[in-house]
Homo-oligomer: A and B are copies of this chain.
Amino acid sequence: MNARTPSKILVLPALYEQVAERLRTRIFAHELQPGAWIDEQALAVEYGISRTPLREALKVLAAEGLVVLKPRRGCYVTELSEQDIDEVFPVMAVLEGKVAELAAHRITSADYARLAAIHDDLEKHAAASNADRFFEANQRFHDALQDIAGNRYLAQLINDARKVIKLTRRDSLRLEGRLKQSLAEHRDILDALRDKDPARAQRSMHDHLMSGRNALARLAKAN
């Protein structure tokens, strides 16, 4: 059921998986922009492979929602409408909220120490107004929480949703004051976890995500 298989370390990933990963990277880097047509032949030549594994990779990306396959008309990078974003974020908020709730139930003092260390990093990067490093530490925080929550299916859905959100070119962390605000929200979540208060952890995390969506909306207006 889950992707991680112990023996997988030895077996190198199938070519179509490698290709999918390379394409994901290019899509997230917005080198392949939303709406852009994906030229199978050109990519096959560039990667030095045939179209077969490339097409299989595109099927995978389509399932993830990163591209859309138009029958007989080719493959295009997904364009997120404002409505799409308004649909994804509430779902993301609910899922991440559940993660926080589960984590609050299961968290140990060692887990808390790990999270607190990551939070220290967040504080440092926020103080330095380094959005990139803040983003990276933020990711680690949420990943660590998923580990503690211990629900792989939930984690998978969240990671898929995150991929979709990444299609947006906008980065809310760059918004004036958002870094500090995000930090304060993380503080809230952390405190709820310290107190092992699932309901509060759930609520804090949910609101944190919706706050992120609002920041994104403000950013859209600013542009």
Residues of B within 8 A of A16 (CB): 59
Q: How many protomers of this protein does the assembly include?
A: 2
For the complex of A and B, 3 pairs with smallest distance between CB atoms: A63-B63, A87-B153, A59-B59
Q: How far does the Cβ of A107 sit from chain B's closest Cβ, in whole Å?
A: 17
Residues of B within 8 A of A70 (CB): 5
A60 to B87: give the CA distance in the assembly, Å: 23
Kindly report which residue of chain B lies nearest to residue A79, judged by CB atoms. Answer: B1
The verdict on A157 contacting chain B, using a C-beta distance below 8 Å, is: yes
Number of chain A residues whose Cβ lies closer than 8 Å to a Cβ of chain B: 41
Which positions in A face B, CB cutoff 8 Å? 1, 5, 11-14, 16, 52, 55-56, 59-60, 62-65, 68-72, 78-81, 84, 87-88, 90-91, 94-95, 97-98, 102, 151-154, 157, 164
A64 to B65: give the CA distance in the assembly, Å: 12
Q: How far does the Cβ of A148 sit from chain B's closest Cβ, in whole Å?
A: 14
